[in-house]
Amino acid sequence: MTLTAGVIGVQGDVAEHAAAITRAARAHGERVDVIEIRRSGLVPDCDLLSMPGGESTTISRSLRREDIAPEIRAHVAAGKPLLATCAGLIVAATDAGDERVSTLDLLDVTVERNAFGRQRDSFETSIGIAGLDEPFPAVFIRAPVITDAGDTEVLATWDDRPVAVHDGPIVGTSFHPELTDDSRLHGFTFFENPSSEPSPQSP
Amino acid sequence: MSEPTDLEDLRRGTDLVKRGFARMQQGGVIMDVVDAEQARIAEDAGAVAVMALEAVPADIRKRGGVARMADPGDIQGVIDAVSIPAMGKARIGHTTEARILESIGVDMIDESEVLTPADERYHIDKRDFTSPFVCGARDLGEALRRIGEGAAMIRTKGEAGTGDVNQAVSHQRNILGSIRKLEGMAHEEREAWAREHEAPAELVHETAEMGRLPVVNFAAGGIATPADAALMMFHGCDGIFVGSGIFGAENPEAMGRAIVEAVNNWDDPEALAEIATDTGKGMQGESNADMPEEQQLQGRGV
């Protein structure tokens, strides 16, 4: 049984997510077909979804214009897994604190855009993530932080601020797990998450 | 601000962080702007970033004389006006202009042939900077030399300010054609290719193995319409810079939005037809097919 993985592809580091999903699937003995989603009609066929990093203003506009936004909501409402990273997290949140971004209200958190500053303040580091044994390489690029995590489960913090959260089928991160070869978070979200609708199992 | 708990492990300005920033621009349109008002229009049109400069390339070309980095105060005005990244242009080899841009918080520095080169022999040593750089290239050797100097993004060097896309197409074809050739070469042939093109051998091997440039590769120079932008995506570019094409057009808002939508729908001609309808007149432009070499900007800093 081959799963269909969708990467929201209107803008951002789409190929990087596609590669990370493929790696995570291989590590879990799953087979996936990865498709790029730039227009409506494709999300309903997807068993799992990634919303990549990029510019949240640009991505949120395109999702509405191309009518992809309601399909992503339906995907999550059906309990299917979604990984939203950086700009993806901002778009998935209920409150981005910025009217230039129209959020999808999937994840009940408030985020602050560019919370660490400009690109010169961007950094890479190593953080502990709940549920992962070894530290995780985290790349923060003009990254948001979660200023109010609501009722979500906080998986990781940096400087006492939440940077990764988990709520049912959704995992959201401030950083970019797709930028390194470590695909454990993709694996957790898509293949180990007990609170998402069980994906069709491979033999 | 309180100190992060494991601050000693925080690394800024690494290749991963600089190239990662460039990766976030993929599938996007970066628009040239000269002031805060244009920057806001660009952001509203869906630009993924803005490039702050003193005058758009078409005006620089008309005006002649020495073209330099824009007034830092004006760049600051652009930075403050938008939430998307703001980039700035420094002259080729002008390390000090680049340091000034970095100090005011520009998110990426374009070491650009559109400005008058400040150094006849050397580009900026970009590895030294925390800020990422984008550089132009007409062929693969030039692209790899710039990446070797620390560039985190490459763009074509289409003739800026002409509104004629043919040179951007030609550069992109050169780069992809050479990568295809490298892929078929044996190790020692790649080594010889690296020597011949004065490109770092390590990067030559990496490019051949990946079958693409190891950094993001954008189109720039002469892109004036939604169809031009879509054409460059068809040619395998990761995203688009538009200079004079937006604010040199009759209706910058409509043209900006249309070019953003065209990049997202580059492989759908029906959608493109709809997108390109009623966008107003594009920039006038001038054909660069028989432009005398002394008027060309692309030969600067190779």
**CATH superfamily of the A2-192 domain:** Class I glutamine amidotransferase (GATase) domain (3.40.50.880)
CB-based contact B49 A118, cutoff 8 Å: no
Q: Cα distance from A168 to chain B (closest Cα, Å)?
A: 27
Low-confidence ranges of chain B (pLDDT < 50): 1-4
Give residue B4's pLDDT: 43
* Helix/strand/coil percentages in chain A, nearest 5: 30, 30, 40
Give residue B7's pLDDT: 57
How far, in Å, CA of A140 to CA of A179, rounded? Answer: 10
List the single residue in B with minimal CA-CA distance to A122: B12
Q: For A113, which of B21, B83, B260 is closest by C-beta distance? A: B83
Those residues whose C-beta lies under 8 Å from the C-beta of residue B224, and which sit 6 or more positions away, are: B163, B164, B165, B242, B244, B245, B248, B249, B282, B283, B285
What confidence tens digit (pLDDT) does each residue in B217-239 have? 999 999 999 999 999 999 999 99
How far, in Å, CA of B212 to CA of A13, rounded? Answer: 15
How far, in Å, CA of B108 to CA of A119, rounded? Answer: 8
Entry pTM: 0.95
Q: Cα distance from A45 to chain B (closest Cα, Å)?
A: 20
List the single residue in B with minimal CA-CA distance to A179: B20
Strands of A48-194, DSSP E: 48-51, 82-85, 93-95, 107-112, 123-127, 136-140, 145-148, 153-158, 161-167, 170-173
CB-based contact A57 B46, cutoff 8 Å: yes
Tell me, yes or no, if A46 is annotated catalytic: no
Q: Counting every residue, how long is chain B?
A: 302
How far, in Å, CA of B147 to CA of B164, rounded? Answer: 27
CB-based contact A14 B27, cutoff 8 Å: yes
What confidence tens digit (pLDDT) does each residue in A92-101 have? 999 999 999 9
CB-based contact B131 A124, cutoff 8 Å: no
Low-confidence ranges of chain A (pLDDT < 70): 197-203
Which residue, among B154, B96, B156, B155, has the nearest Cα to B124 in the 3D structure? Answer: B96
Chain B residues whose CB is inside 8 A of the A121 CB are 12
**A59, A89, A120: best mutation site toward chain B, by most B Cβ within 10 Å?**
A120
How far, in Å, CA of B296 to CA of B293, rounded? Answer: 5
C-alpha distances out from residue A82 to A4, A53, B298, Å: 13, 14, 44
Judged by DSSP in three states, B226 sits in: helix
Buried/exposed code over B62-89 (b: 16+ C-beta within 10 A; e: otherwise) = eeeeebbbbebebbbbbbebbbbbbbbb
Give residue B2's pLDDT: 36
Q: Which residues of B are catalytic?
A: 89
Those residues whose C-beta lies under 8 Å from the C-beta of residue A64, and which sit 6 or more positions away, are: A102
User: In this complex, is the C-beta atom of B4 within 8 Å of any C-beta atom belonging to chain A?
Assistant: yes
Q: Is the ipTM of this complex over 0.85?
A: yes
What confidence tens digit (pLDDT) does each residue in A44-93 have? 999 999 999 999 999 999 999 999 999 999 999 999 999 999 999 999 99
A-B C-beta contacts closer than 8 Å: 124
B137 pairs with which residues across the strands?
B156
Chain B residues whose CB is inside 8 A of the A117 CB are 105
Those residues whose C-beta lies under 8 Å from the C-beta of residue B233, and which sit 6 or more positions away, are: B219, B240, B263, B266, B267
Token digits for A98? 């910025």
Which residue, among A76, A11, A65, has the nearest Cα to A40 in the 3D structure? Answer: A65
Q: Which helix (H) or strand (E) holds A186?
A: helix A184-187
Give residue A197's pLDDT: 63
How far, in Å, CA of B261 to CA of B271, rounded? Answer: 9
Give residue B1's pLDDT: 34
How far, in Å, CA of B231 to CA of B87, rounded? Answer: 24
Q: Cα distance from A201 to chain B (closest Cα, Å)?
A: 32
